[in-house]
Amino acid sequence: MSLTAYTSRTLYTPLESLDHAVVLVEDGAVVKLGTRTSVEVASGAEIQDFGDGIIVPGFVDIHIHGSAGYDVMQAADSARGNFEQFLARHGVTAYYPTTIAAPLDVIERALERLADAIEIAGRKDSSHGGAQPLGIHLEGPFLSHACRGAHSPEDLLLPSVEIFDKFWQAARGHIRLITIAPELEGALEVIAEAAKRGVCVSLGHSDADLESTRRGVAAGAEHATHTFNAMRPLRHRDPGIVAEVLTNSSLTGDVIADGVHVDPAVVKLFLNAKGAENAVLITDATSATGMPNGKYLLGTLEVEVKDGTVLRDGKLAGSVLTMDRAFRNAMDFAGWDLQRAVRIATANPARVAGAQNKGMLKPGADADFVVLSASGDVRATVVRGKVVE
């Protein structure tokens, strides 16, 4: 493979900042990076200059149901390429397709199809032209009836290791995250088993009090799903799950920063509480994202999008948020600078999901990065060392 040198005015790894930056890429991986005075570029290397752009790692979305008319659980796979290109145009280079509660056979078939997509995209000879699926996020069916959100009550089940193992087998071990309500009977056993298999257990869709939440953390939970949404509200004498998420520094947590699911002032509260080390941005995007008003699918459910809000039976049912918009909103809502906001869209979600070579720019990492303007607009996206057209 030929060597390519990508240059720009600034680069955020995101932990470090480099001015007049150079990223050397070969065979889809970062070979070296540094300043133009410290990195020697071979005479035969191709050079692509992004001018005054800011190179940052590619965004990683660990909670997404679809976009551009495509739902990750649908049987027909022909639209997935358009969906993944749509994600790349909005700065996402890696994502975790997220299921919803549905009949068990429907979930299992969806997991099998998603496992196929992950394995195909992961091949060295893959001609992947957009965001890459890395693993599966299982949201449901082990959710609280009291905090089920848009999930159908008839599809919710009490957690059991037996059912989780069926999902694991159907997904051929590609489950990387699971959202579960820790207060449910059988939840602690499933949390412990999932954690043992290397799955990030995320607490969510939960009516847990403080003690039940802490038992879930002790069993192996490490993360929280769309904090504040589909959770027991924070009360000063009944703090519940939200208090543990906000105050426990061993827990990471994510938030939907669209200004609809969570008020901008509360997004700021969340980001300041969790900090640049433990906050994560997600979209919870549905197939309606990037589409006109109308009716769309969320898994097996019909939802309606109108004026930027996705509803089912009057309840919020996912979003039409894109990661670049969530990223810019985080800067706007919390007053964070671009480098700080980059971390919660790149390194942190990659760490939560256990993606070793994503979310950071360093030698040996996958050459997935985004070129941003100073205001956070996406100028170009590079996946595995290739600019996405």
What is the pLDDT, as a whole number, of residue 1? 56
Is the pLDDT at 358 greater than 90? The verdict is yes
Establish if 368 belongs to a structural domain. no
Report the pLDDT value the prediction gives residue 389, as an integer from 0 to 100. 78
Cα(181)–Cα(216) distance, rounded to whole angstroms? 9
Same domain for 50 and 71, yes or no, is no
pLDDT at 223: 98
Assigned domain for 366 exists: no
Total Cβ atoms within 10 A of residue 104: 15
- The answer to whether residue 44 scores a pLDDT higher than 90 is no
Please give the Cα distance from 307 to 173 (Å, whole number). Answer: 39
Residues 292 and 171 in one domain: yes
Question: For residue 364, is it within any domain?
Answer: no
Tens digits of residue pLDDT in 223-263: 999 999 999 999 999 999 999 999 999 999 999 999 999 99
For 101-115, write each residue's pLDDT tens digit: 999 999 999 999 999
| CATH number reported for the structural domain that contains residue 297 in this entry | 3.20.20.140
Q: Which domain holds residue 13?
A: 4-54+376-387
Q: Does residue 91 lie in a domain region?
A: yes
Q: Are 149 and 250 in a shared domain?
A: yes
What is the residue type of 159? P
- Tell whether 67 and 189 lie within a shared domain: yes
Residues 30 and 102 in one domain: no
- pLDDT for the residue 210: 98
Measured CA distances, 246 to 16, 152, 177, 183, 239 (Å):
26, 28, 20, 18, 10
Active centre residues (catalytic): 284
Does any domain span residue 367? no
Asked whether the beta carbons of 187 and 142 are under 8 A apart, the reply is yes
The runs of H, that is alpha helices, within 248-361 are 264-278, 323-334, 338-343, 347-353
Report pTM. 0.97
Nearest-angstrom CA–CA distance, 182 and 199: 15
Determine the pLDDT at residue 77. Answer: 83
Question: Do 79 and 118 fall into the same domain?
Answer: yes
Task: Note whether residue 240 is domain-resident.
Answer: yes
Note whether residue 118 is domain-resident.
yes
CA–CA separation, 221 and 247 (whole Å):
15
Query: Do 148 and 62 sit in the same domain of this protein?
Result: yes
Please write the tens of the pLDDT for every residue from 164-202: 999 999 999 999 999 999 999 999 999 999 999 999 999
> What CATH number did the domain enclosing 44 receive?
2.30.40.10
Residues 215 and 70 in one domain: yes
Considering the domain architecture, whether residues 46 and 161 belong to the same structural domain is answered as no
Q: Are residues 309 and 334 in the same domain?
A: yes
164 and 261 within one domain:
yes
pLDDT at 127 over 70: no
Total count of domains within the chain = 2
If asked whether residues 23 and 100 sit together in one domain, one would say no
In whole angstroms, give the CA distance from residue 119 to residue 134.
Answer: 9
Q: How far apart are CA 97 and CA 139, in angstroms?
A: 10
The alpha carbon of 113 is separated from its chain's Cα centroid by a whole number of angstroms, namely 19
Q: What is the mean pLDDT of the chain?
A: 96
Structural domain contains residue 211: yes
